[in-house]
Amino acid sequence: MSRTIKAAATPSTAPSGNDTVGQAVRELIADVRTRGDAAVRELSARFDRWEPESFRLDEGRIAEIIGTLDPQVVEDIKTVQANVRRFAEAQRDSMSEIEIETAPGVFLGHRHVPVQSVGAYIPGGRYPLTASAHMTIVTAKAAGVPRVVACTPPIRGEIPAATIAAMHFAGADEIYVLGGVQAVAAMAVGTETIGKVDMLAGPGNAYVAEAKRQLFGEVGIDLFAGPTEILVVADEHADPFVAAVDLLSQAEHGPDSPAALITTSERVAEEVQRHIEEILPGMQTGDIAGPAWRDHGQIVLVDDLDEAYRVADEFAYEHVQILTENPREALDRMRAYGALFLGEGTCVSYGDKVIGTNHVLPTRGAARYTGGLWVGMYLRTVTYQEVREEKSSAELGELCGRAARVELFEGHARSGDVRAAKYAGAQLPWTDHYASDRA
């Protein structure tokens, strides 16, 4: 039986459709749809105090911005992107295209066709999230997307140089310093200067997430993103200090970011809680991580690892870190998670920033039915069919006629009838079209 050592003061729930946010976003999208660039400019000035002559950066300006960076920053961006690209390309290579012959002369197949244009939103705000450029743009390019439009907001009236560098090296075809709903809407519906895209990707604040939700269907999206989540599963062999540091590493994403520990050891539970209380006062982002842990932090004590994995699946969290004696056991035991981080040598922060797997992952229980952003999300698996043998087409025609009439689809049935008549001399009781030919 599990026992809660620390409960969340404010339980995290699925999005409730905030009417205030929803209505505001609806009006902003409508404004961009109606007035295009004029609306985008006014909204950027209102929300970001940003109204440059052009939101789009040309190649010369991009080069100038990158030139202001420490060479080590540039080198690190390229190294991380190489890691992301290597994994994304391996994923793409794993996706086979097929063609099989299901009956004599009947060929069925599928191909993986890239989305033709993607809008990547790279958040700014509290943190300049250069890693989001790696995850959204590099992965899209690995999938073969020919046009990637990338938007990021100014930060306190300044262009975020490292983010621009990340967008450029990732392969963005168009880079705009533009944020918020106005950026997402402009990419989705198009304006006089920003061509519309087929799909939106990337995280953002509540307004950006709501804009993606409202625009879904008109364009595709990657995921409905919520606050970042971390769950640590620990046994008696875990280092409580490591567990505490890792829990707080994700709590600093935002004051509503859930962080949870499930452990088989009461000692580990107590020491993790003590370490967190000791670390928080000296943590530069403690003003964010503190409320997150206070309101959304949880510690659950369980009898054994069987129960730990069962409870962890009920959480269905975005990031699940396994600090146990045999961490790979979780690969076979767990089913509901965005990404697993196995063993003390691996941490969620590696996945967020450098290791190469994608950090755009399902939250708020969505891990029960979907994985995270990967190269396959930018591909459409489309099928094709070809019947080369007349005998097979006639047999399918007879079958189609019977099957369609069970469903009262006479038009469908007749398409099958025609092949059966043309290729095998079957009768067509509803027409004498082929009768004279056979006579």
Exposure class string for 34-57: b at 16+ Cβ within 10 A, else e? eebeebbbebbeeebebeeeebeb
The 8-class DSSP code of residue 171 comes to T
Three-class DSSP category at 349: helix
Three-class DSSP category at 90: helix
Active site residue 319: yes
Q: Yes or no: say if 319 and 358 are a contact pair by the CB < 8 Å rule.
A: no
d(CA 199, CA 148) in angstroms, rounded, equals 10
Catalytic residue among 229, 271, 318, 395: 318
**Whole-number CA gyration radius for the chain:** 27
Active site residue 318: yes
Catalytic residue among 319, 344, 359, 395: 319
Task: Report the 10 Å Cβ neighbour count for 305.
Answer: 22
Q: Yes or no: say if 331 and 244 are a contact pair by the CB < 8 Å rule.
A: no
Q: Yes or no: say if 153 and 178 are a contact pair by the CB < 8 Å rule.
A: yes
Phi, psi for residue 299 in degrees, rounded to 5: -130, 125
DSSP states along 278-336: HHGGG-TTHHHHHHHHHHHEEEEE-SSHHHHHHHHHHH--SEEEEESSSTTHHHHH---
Phi, psi for residue 257 in degrees, rounded to 5: -85, 115
Nearest CA to 350 out of 433, 230, 259 is that of: 230
Three-class DSSP category at 431: coil
Three-class DSSP category at 240: helix
Q: Looking at the annotation, which residues are catalytic?
A: 318-319
